[in-house]
Structure 1
Amino acid sequence: MHRFDPPRRNFLKEALATGFALAVQPISAASIITDSHDLDTGLAGIALDDGILPAYFARPRMPSGKLPVMLVVQEIFGVHEHIRDICRRLAKLGYLAIAPELYFRQGNPAEASDIATIINTIVSKVPDTQVMQDLDATLAWANLHGGDAGHAAITGFCWGGRIIWLYASHNPNLKAGIAWYGKLVGEHGTLTPSQPVDIAATLKVPVLGLYGGQDGSIPQDSVNSMRQALDQGHSHSEIVVYPGAGHAFNADYRPSYNASAAQDGWQRMLGWLASHDMKAR
């Protein structure tokens, strides 16, 4: 396992959430907790030109070779316990899963008491170009620490679901992407020059989009617009809508959790990975 000196490790512990984000308390009894048995898990410090990018990783303890890489992109709440658990679930299946804290320059969302504060003081200041570069750096780190960047995919949730579409456009060498209820349309600005619907027709990477039919923040007309844009391209991407599910239906620690949609979505994700040369070896 990669070692860090005490000052760096202390920095990583402070920069990454421990437990669940404050804004989502209390935690549902349905919350899934995956153990670390037979896994190496820990904190990574990824060196960038402007600082150290904190990340949480999980991987099989004694792999027989280089591992396929799963980039895991955080919800709006950052890399808190749910995202760490997603990494452990993927590691149990044979992946090197790594989740970088993509807001680390702007603040720690786990410490904010409500979603509005996270959006106004942190998320609204995060440029898409910065996120793309940080994900590039994360993939490069994984390639040097037991992962195979030539067999890499990406998945993300909520805020991260939108990022999956954009990073799939940014990095055409990915094998696949899986976007869980990420916004597809929105305003254009200096920090967000493109939206997923804008790049759908030119995608090369096959992306599976998983959406809730009762999601008040992602209306079905935007999902239909995305489907139409994807139909103009050749990425063979797909969108699945669960009619009875709302936003964050995979978030088992929140009231929004929809077990049937979440379980079906997880199996569809694994099937998508397997069919695009990303089955763990």
Structure 2
Amino acid sequence: MSDKPERATAQDFPPEVLTLFDKYVHGVIDRRGFLEQGALLVAAGTTATAVLAALSPDFAHARVAPEDPRITVTHEDIPSPKGYGTIKAIVVRPKGMAPRARKPVILVVHENRGLNPHIKDIARRLAVDGYIAVAPDALTSLGGYPGDEDKARTLFGQLDQAKAREDFVAAADYAKAMRDSNGKLGAVGFCYGGGIVNMLATRVPTLRAAVPFYGPPPPLDAVPAIKAELLLHFAGNDARVNGLWPDYDKALKAAGTRYQAFIYPSVEHGFNNDTTPRFDEKAAALAWKRTIALFKRTLA
């Protein structure tokens, strides 16, 4: 394994370590559990602590900086349903929109750590591509993304998931109705966010395009309600999520849903996240190219 985390790739780690890290990321084990079990798996001369540091996100280099002159960023409070207060979100717009200009809006749904710097960067990339991006933070009711990935994972375990789902439905409705929206809504989400996007497709009939990255399916009995066109991305080395795909695939076919699904061989869950060694540049570039092509075709 490389001693320089910024140069590490998934290939630098044994598959068993990556599987253990996946359990850690998704709250199956805590930090102590990873360190104890990881100590039995790492190579001689390396510590489990060093491995965890190498696998953890490095937010130092955003692809689109917050101060990029091509975009404007605002912070907005979206009313949450049933008297739950608000859900905070960033809204990123292409710079220089005319007063009466209208753009498609894309809801960006984060992983299981809240609105962290990587997801904000995804929203900024979409604005550079000409879309209005709305990125809510499901952790709003617990104080918001805490600036620390471990703390964020802990908070996610305390999150009222039923409330979070309603928050994202409310955010989708808010995004579509914004004054500078052209009324055409898409959604993209990653891991936890991929599952939320699958859920939104069953709950928001005006959603035109839904792109879940390695996300779990919605309740299968709700699949016939999907009106959006789906583009589903899966990692080849992701047995946990991929094991749920065959039944979802059958349900989509039975419902006559418009969809395409791609499994990217030999890449890890989280392959689109360029802040971690699980990032795969080739697979991520292809998946993102397909994503933007769908948005261009369905939201113009």
Residues 23 and 142 (structure 1), Cα distance of their counterparts in 2 relative to 1, 3 Å cut = farther
Q: 2:85 aligns with which of 51, 54, 57?
A: 51
Residues 1-150 of structure 1: pairs in structure 2 closer than 5 A: 25=56, 27=58, 31-35=61-65, 36-48=68-80, 49-64=83-98, 65-112=101-148, 114=150, 118-119=152-153, 121-123=155-157, 125-128=159-162, 130-137=164-171, 139-140=173-174, 143-148=177-182, 150=183
Alignment partner, residue 199 of structure 1? 222
Match of 2:29 in 1: none
Aligned-pair CA distance for 1:124: 5.2
CA contact (8 A) 1:211 1:240 kept: yes
CA distance in 2, matches of 1:225, 1:243: 20
- Give the match's secondary structure for 2:93: strand
CA contact (8 A) 1:109 1:122 kept: no
**TM, length-normalised to structure 1:** 0.77
Aligned equivalent of 1:158:
191
Change (3 A) 1:123 1:40: same
Distance 1:124 1:223, change over 3 A: farther
For 1:267 and 1:231, locate their aligned partners in 2 and report how far apart those are by CA, in whole Å. 25
CA 1:228–1:143: 2 relative to 1, 3 Å: same
Mapped to 1, the partners of 2:97 and 2:266 lie a distance apart of: 40
* Change over 3 Å in CA distance of 1:245–1:197 after alignment to 2: farther
- Change in Cα spacing, 1:28 to 1:72, as seen in structure 2 (3 Å) is closer
Describe the SS at the equivalent of 1:208. Answer: strand
Shift of 1:183: 1.7
CA contact (8 A) 1:76 1:109 kept: no
Q: 1:84 to 1:128 in 2, by over 3 A?
A: same
Aligned CA distance change for structure 1 residues 57 and 266 (closer, same or farther; 3 Å)? same
- Report the CA distance between 1:44 and its aligned residue: 1.3
Partner residue of 2:288? 266
| Shift, 1:233, TM fit | 1.0
Length, aligned pairs only? 242
Q: Note closer, same or farther for the CA distance 1:200–1:243 as it changes in structure 2 (3 Å cut).
A: farther
Q: In structure 2, how many angstroms separate the alpha carbons of the residues matched to 1:129 and 1:51? A: 11
1:102 CA drift (Å): 1.4
Q: Which has the higher helix share?
A: 2
**Equivalent residue, structure 1, for 2:249:** 227
Aligned partner of 1:205: which letter?
A: A
Change (3 A) 1:241 1:141: closer
What residue number does 2:12 align with?
none
Asked if the contact 1:162/1:196 (under 8 Å) is kept, the reply is: no
Counterpart Cα distance in 2 of 1:144 and 1:204: 21
The whole-number CA distance in structure 1 between the counterparts of 2:72 and 2:145 is 26
Letter in 2 for 1:162: G
The 1:166–1:259 alpha-carbon spacing in structure 2 relative to 1, beyond 3 Å, is same
Deviation at 1:60, TM superposition (A): 1.0
Partners of 1:23 and 1:105 lie apart in 2 by: 31
Gaps in structure 2 of 5+ consecutive residues:
1-52
